[in-house]
Amino acid sequence: MQLLFSELCFIVCNIFIFLVFTSHHSFIHSNMWNNLPSDLLSSVFFYLPPHSLARAMATCRHWHDCGRSTTRDTSCQRHPPWFIAVPTRGTSSLCFVHNPIETTWHRLNLLNLEHVPSVTRPVSTVAGHGLILFKSTGSVPIQLSVCNPFTGRFRHLPPLRKPRTNPAVGVIQNNGSSEFKVYVAGGMSEAESGGAASYEPTLEMFDSRINKWTVVGSMPVEFAVRLTVWTPNESVHSRGVLYWMTSARAYSIMGFEMSSNKWKELSVPMGDTLEFAAMVPRDGKLAVVGGTHGGNVSVWELGEDDKWNVIERMPVELGKRFTNGGTKCVGIEGGVCLYKDIGKGMVMWRSNWNHKNKWEWCSVEGCNEISGKRLENYPIRGLFLRPNLAYSSFF
Amino acid sequence: MTSSKTIVLRSSDGATFEVDEAVALHSLMIKHRIETGGADSTTIDVPEVTGNTLSKVIEYCKKHVEAPNSDDLKSFDTDFVKVDQAVLCHLAKASYYMNIKGLLDLSSKTIADMFKGKTVEQIRETFHIKNDFTPEEEEELRKENSWNLFV
């Protein structure tokens, strides 16, 4: 009897010790991650792609605040850029974003954001800061706004010094800081009472640091005309020059040199035979992606001597889908995307983070359904962004 | 002939480790302590780190100081962080307090890999996080994250 009793005690004691140990153990575990210094947490967050970061920020308040205050250097190309599809015509207001890591399409609340007026169109991006620049549509003088589609923040820019319609819009961003400048060139200025509207041969600049527009200088009227009639889709800043390209054949490029306040003109390789062409930035240099009707797509880079060199050709197999017109192209540092409509497959050319100098072509499936329902195909304007979830004093 | 000066590092639980000064200097925190501590600083206290973790940190520093150009450095690093969660967490904290950038980056990257493919709830489970959002805040988050596979 006694033996049994002491055995029982022994067992009970062990169970008790075991329970204390495991609860103590899990107590340690549960505290383990709770008291990470914020800087260390930021260091971990740095390595998370945007969708993982957003999910981490949704776990608790502390992690949410840490993510909001971790200013990522979004010019760093550790994470691949995200492609955003915005409908070009009023038939649909569904915007989609492509997650390049999970290769999934998601509905993006863009045109339906609370403050976004319904008559706006994306005109450009401050791609490195994860922002979209919107312009008002219609015949009123242009009104520009800035939006971060991944945090939902939105803000109007103040009115221009010289109001105009249909100007070229360009962006210069500082790497390593959240500041940026918006440039507006050309456009039609309002008619003086009774007179005819005329081309506005001036360039003005918005500095996000001081929240003001300044007239930078004048420009040749001929350039103002071209930039107004064939309003460019994007600008590229390279080696101190801000470049714009006319939006239709015969393609030509105009550049504004910051330091000398002078304008210059560049020819586009095969500028009068290309069916589509777009300027993209590449390692700080200006590049042009262009294709013929037959589906031959090439990439040219501008050398130091302002001469073009072919640096890449799209594999023939992929080029087959870009025949018969309607091809568009968008680029960002580290990636180029060729596309047509939301439903049709796209082709991307992207740098591989692990082998920085190696760029790879890949095919991306279009978005054909949403929540199990078939999606009608519609034409889109594509944008490339590096999602930025951090708090910005700009808004 | 370089001086083979050694430094003694003392962990939070009193364990002591004698290491070459060159190895100890891999930690910028220790480097600073030595430079500002005067001639008597041959024993440095590291109260934020336990003996077990300090031992591993020293192993990392030794490898990176004594054979920085070796071919197997990469595989050393990969194997070095093949440890359980608790050890990884302690390594990350130690590398932060002791200001060892290479180890901080390595452990941060490894912890970041633990998030791969996880939902919000799975992240909470993995890291034992308590959800302290109000239902209204959670609704806000859901709206903000419409572009993300959320649940």
**How far away is chain A from the Cα of B117, in angstroms, using its nearest Cα?**
8
* B22-B23-B26-B27 Cα dihedral, nearest 10 degrees: -110
The DSSP-derived string for B9-43 is: EEETTS-EEEEEHHHHTTSHHHHHHHHHH-TTTTE
Interface with B, mutate which of A55, A65, A101 (most B CBs under 10 A) = A55
Token duo for residue B85: 């969660």
> Which pLDDT band, with edges at 50, 70 and 90, does A24 fall under?
low
Report the distance separating Cα A131 and Cα A148, nearest Å. 5
Interchain contact, A150 vs B147, CB within 8 Å: yes
> Which pLDDT band, with edges at 50, 70 and 90, does A78 fall under?
confident
Give the number of other Cβ atoms within 10 Å of residue A342's Cβ. Answer: 24
Using DSSP's 3-state secondary structure scheme, residue B70 falls into coil
Interface with A, mutate which of B147, B149, B150, B151 (most A CBs under 10 A) = B147
CB of A305 less than 8 A from some CB of B: no
Burial (Cβ within 10 Å: 0-12, 13-18, ≥19) of residue A127: buried
More confident residue, A286 or A177: A286
Contacts of A30 in chain B (CB under 8 A): 128
Report the distance separating Cα A38 and Cα A308, nearest Å. 48
Interchain contact, B112 vs A47, CB within 8 Å: yes
- Please give the backbone phi and psi of residue B111, each rounded to the nearest 5 degrees, phi first: -65, -40
Residue found by looking up tokens 């100081």 in the block: B65
Q: Which amino acid would we find at residue A237?
A: H
Report the distance separating Cα A140 and Cα A42, nearest Å. 45
Contacts of A60 in chain B (CB under 8 A): 124, 129-133
Burial (Cβ within 10 Å: 0-12, 13-18, ≥19) of residue A259: exposed
Interchain contact, B129 vs A59, CB within 8 Å: yes
Which residues sit opposite A15 in a β-bridge?
A: none
Residue A44, pLDDT above cutoff 70: yes
- The DSSP 8-state label assigned to residue A295 in this structure reads S
Interchain contact, B149 vs A44, CB within 8 Å: no
Smallest Cα–Cα separation from A281: which of A271, A273, A289? Answer: A289
Query: How much of chain A, in percent, has pLDDT values that exceed 90?
Result: 58
Q: Are B6 and B21 in contact (CB under 8 A)?
A: yes
Interchain contact, B128 vs A32, CB within 8 Å: yes
Interchain contact, B147 vs A30, CB within 8 Å: no
Smallest Cα–Cα separation from A68: which of A364, A390, A339? Answer: A390
Q: What is the pLDDT of residues B11-29, one digit of tens each?
A: 999 999 999 999 999 999 9
B65-68 contacts, C-beta under 8 A, 24 or more apart: B65/B20, B65/B22, B65/B23, B65/B25, B65/B26, B66/B23
Q: Please state the rounded mean pLDDT for residues A197-213.
A: 94
Report the distance separating Cα A298 and Cα A287, nearest Å. 10
Interchain contact, B147 vs A97, CB within 8 Å: yes
More confident residue, B24 or A71: B24
Q: What is the count of residue pairs from A and B with beta carbons less than 8 Å apart?
A: 102
**Averaged confidence pLDDT in chain A:** 87
Contacts of B49 in chain A (CB under 8 A): none
Interchain contact, B86 vs A28, CB within 8 Å: yes
> Which pLDDT band, with edges at 50, 70 and 90, does B1 fall under?
very low
Q: What is the pLDDT of residues A105-139, one digit of tens each?
A: 998 877 666 666 667 788 899 988 899 999 987 77
Q: What is the ipTM of this complex?
A: 0.93
More confident residue, A81 or A196: A81
> Among A61-75, A288-302, A380-394, where is mean pLDDT lowest?
A61-75
Contacts of A106 in chain B (CB under 8 A): 146-149
Q: What is the pLDDT of residue A352?
A: 85
**Who's near A96: CB < 8 A, 6+ residues apart?**
A84, A85, A105, A106, A107, A108, A342, A367
The gap from C-alpha A68 to its chain's centroid, in whole angstroms, comes to: 19
Q: Which of A43, A61, A151 sits opposite B144 (nearest CB)?
A: A151
Angle A64-A69-A72 (CA atoms, 0-180°, nearest 5)? 110
Contacts of B120 in chain A (CB under 8 A): 55, 58-59
Q: What is the pLDDT of residues B104-135, one digit of tens each?
A: 999 999 999 999 999 999 999 999 999 999 99
Token duo for residue B38: 């005067």
Q: Are A204 and A213 in contact (CB under 8 A)?
A: yes
Q: Are A116 and A148 in contact (CB under 8 A)?
A: no
pTM: 0.88
The dihedral of CA B44, B49, B54, B60: what is its sign? negative
State the DSSP H helix or E strand holding residue A352, giving kind and residue range, or none if neither.
Answer: strand A346-352
Residue B140, pLDDT above cutoff 90: no
Q: What is the pLDDT of residue A118?
A: 61
**How far away is chain A from the Cα of B97, in angstroms, using its nearest Cα?**
9
Interchain contact, A109 vs B147, CB within 8 Å: yes
Which of 10-29 (A) contact B at CB < 8 A? 26, 28-29
Q: Which of B112, B128, B145 sits opposite A58 (nearest CB)?
A: B145
**How far away is chain B from the Cα of A33, in angstroms, using its nearest Cα?**
6
**How far away is chain A from the Cα of B130, in angstroms, using its nearest Cα?**
7
Report the distance separating Cα B37 and Cα A171, nearest Å. 51
Report the distance separating Cα A231 and Cα A55, nearest Å. 39
**Who's near A250: CB < 8 A, 6+ residues apart?**
A271, A272
Token duo for residue B147: 């572009």
Interface with B, mutate which of A26, A38, A40, A371 (most B CBs under 10 A) = A40
Q: Which amino acid would we find at residue A346?
A: M
| Chain A residue whose CA is closest to B121 | A59
Which of 60-79 (A) contact B at CB < 8 A? 60-61, 63
CB of A56 less than 8 A from some CB of B: yes
Q: What is the pLDDT of residues B39-94, one digit of tens each?
A: 566 889 999 999 999 999 999 999 999 888 888 899 999 999 999 999 999 999 99
**How far away is chain B from the Cα of A281, in angstroms, using its nearest Cα?**
26
Q: What is the pLDDT of residue A222?
A: 93
Q: What is the pLDDT of residue A177?
A: 77
**How far away is chain A from the Cα of B138, in angstroms, using its nearest Cα?**
8
Which residues sit opposite A106 in a β-bridge?
A: A97
Q: Are A305 and A266 in contact (CB under 8 A)?
A: no
Token duo for residue A216: 């930078």
Interchain contact, A44 vs B148, CB within 8 Å: no
Token duo for residue A237: 């800043």
Alpha-carbon distances, residue A252 vs A40, A143, A231, A238, A382 (angstroms): 49, 26, 12, 17, 22
Interchain contact, B149 vs A104, CB within 8 Å: yes
Contacts of A101 in chain B (CB under 8 A): none
